[in-house]
Amino acid sequence: MLYESESNDIQIACTGESLISRGLSKFREERFLRMVQMLRDADVAFTNAECLFHNYEDHPNTVAGGGSATGTYMASHPRNIKELQWAGIDVVACANNHGSDYGEGGVLTNIKYLDEAGMPHAGSGRNMADARSPVYLDTPKGRVALIAAADWGPRGRGGFPWPFPMGVMAGEQSSYSKGRPGYNLIRQRSVFTIDREAFDALRRLSKKLGFEEEKAGRHSLWGPLERDQDTDTVFHFMDTKFVLGDRFSLSTIANRDDVEANLKWVRDARRMADWVLVSFHNHGASPSPDEPSEHAKLFARACIEAGADVFIGHGPHQDRGIEIYQGKPIFHSLGDFILQNDTVQWAPYDAMTRLGLGWDNTPADFYDARAGNGTRGRGNPRNWESAVAMVSFKGGRLKEVRLHPVDLGMDSPRGQRGRPLLAEPGGEVNNRVLEKFQQMSKPFGTEIKIEDGVGVIRL
């Protein structure tokens, strides 16, 4: 064997969302340092950088987080890139809904600081080809590729369009125009199955309101018009697809051009690297918070079929099930790894006014107001706990996945919470994280054993 990488052995550390606004390197709790050492010991460690590294050089967008009236403009000082590197993070995804918080200028500023710090990143770019293409990094165990994408479309139960795009979608460069800075977004929309009574009522409503006349000759952002043709069993109403059935249900469908363009790069990375990771920020509509969107499940499996070794989902700020597909792991979502979205230094004036605040108010007033001055709590406990997933391949085959629960200190004061520590084995957070992973992974046929406070999947 000439090269160490020919062994086809590698350990990959996977984490979910990192909304970082403070440093990490000053802290010294034993369970924190053990977690950091775990990331450093991995051959490659990944996180989703759900923030923009900049120093307020750029103008804030109309809304933050892709459409939330009270969302965080997730700015992070550029020095925090070094803090992530200190903690062992080797590569980051940038395709997520906070990528648009400071417009196209913020996209370019974020790229500039990541490049200056030597942090490999994927999912954003100066044009669409740049945003979709893989980033590569060399490790002793082989060349690793990362492709990062995010979905763009209805959230929640899919019934209400998200008011603004979840991110600045990058534009293709051509001989006619410059490319547009932005993110690798996969467009998706809801498909509702409804019964005959509701189906006929929608058709009548569309006709009486004059929407049918508007359909004639209308060009869709989804591509060729024939894709949106109505039939006896399919009807389009206000850009939403309804299918005739005998029950009511929700599914989602991704834009085929966007999916295929991403799969092209997965196949390219398969030929260019020893290991291929795909990151997918999935906020898309789904039947429940615990279930992945239909389009996300299909995309994950298609990426594995195209040559990905690990598919790392995130987006809903909570964990979801784990699937082993064709011998490769699919994390349908890893939740928050760092959650420091209420210690960001500044909140734009537009955001302040939406909460009835004015010139004399401060950022702390903004964070207090959106939390109802403590009356609305800090959200679901699952937003404040997740796991570091250690994925081990031996001889090119998946050997095991080990889930190490982390606790982000939900009940701690604002200046303390949001930084991960390994959860106490046998403690409430540790048990809840692992038991939830077991429950959500069962529908995928994945068995997770709990051994000394660690979830273990063995092949």
34 CB contacts (<8 Å, ≥6 apart)? Answer: 422
247 domain-assigned: no
- Residue 273: which domain range? 7-155+255-458
CATH number reported for the structural domain that contains residue 417 in this entry: 3.60.21.10
Segment 242-295, tens digit of pLDDT: 999 999 999 999 999 999 999 999 999 999 999 999 999 999 888 889 999 999
pLDDT band at 372 (very low <50, low <70, confident <90, very high): confident
185 domain-assigned: no
DSSP label at residue 61? P
Segment 92-114, tens digit of pLDDT: 999 999 998 999 999 999 999 99
Q: What is the mean pLDDT of residues 18-40?
A: 98
293 CB contacts (<8 Å, ≥6 apart)? Answer: 151, 188, 252, 282, 284, 285, 286
Average predicted confidence (pLDDT) for the chain? 92
Q: Which residues does residue 58 pair with via DSSP β-bridges, in sequence order?
A: none
Segment 301-341, tens digit of pLDDT: 999 999 999 999 999 999 999 999 999 999 999 999 999 99
Of residues 228 and 368, the one with the higher pLDDT is: 368
357 domain-assigned: yes
Q: Which residues of 1-116 form beta strands (DSSP E)?
A: 10-19, 44-49, 52-53, 75-76, 91-93
Does this model's pTM top 0.85? yes
Is the pLDDT at 226 greater than 60? The verdict is no
Is the pLDDT at 376 greater than 90? The verdict is no
Q: Which of 186, 171, 169 is nearest to 103 (CA)?
A: 169
Cα 209 off chain centre by: 38
Q: Which residues of 297-376 form beta strands (DSSP E)?
A: 310-314, 322-325, 328-331, 336-339
Q: Which residues does residue 312 pair with via DSSP β-bridges, in sequence order?
A: 279, 331
Segment 168-200, tens digit of pLDDT: 899 999 899 999 999 999 998 889 999 999 999
Is the pLDDT at 219 greater than 80? The verdict is no
| H or E stretch at 63 | none
205 domain-assigned: no
176 domain-assigned: no
215 domain-assigned: no
Is the pLDDT at 225 greater than 60? The verdict is no
Per-residue pLDDT at 211: 86
Q: What is the mean pLDDT of residues 20-26?
A: 97
Q: Side-chain half-sphere of 381: how many Cα atoms within 13 Å?
A: 10
Per-residue pLDDT at 133: 98
Per-residue pLDDT at 161: 63
Please tell me the total count of domains within the chain: 1
181 domain-assigned: no
Q: How many residues does the chain have?
A: 459
Q: Which residues of 37-105 form beta strands (DSSP E)?
A: 44-49, 52-53, 75-76, 91-93
Alpha-helical regions (H) of 145-227: 196-208, 211-215
Cα 67 off chain centre by: 16
Alpha-helical regions (H) of 273-391: 294-306, 349-353, 363-370
Segment 393-420, tens digit of pLDDT: 999 999 999 999 999 999 999 999 999 9
237 domain-assigned: no
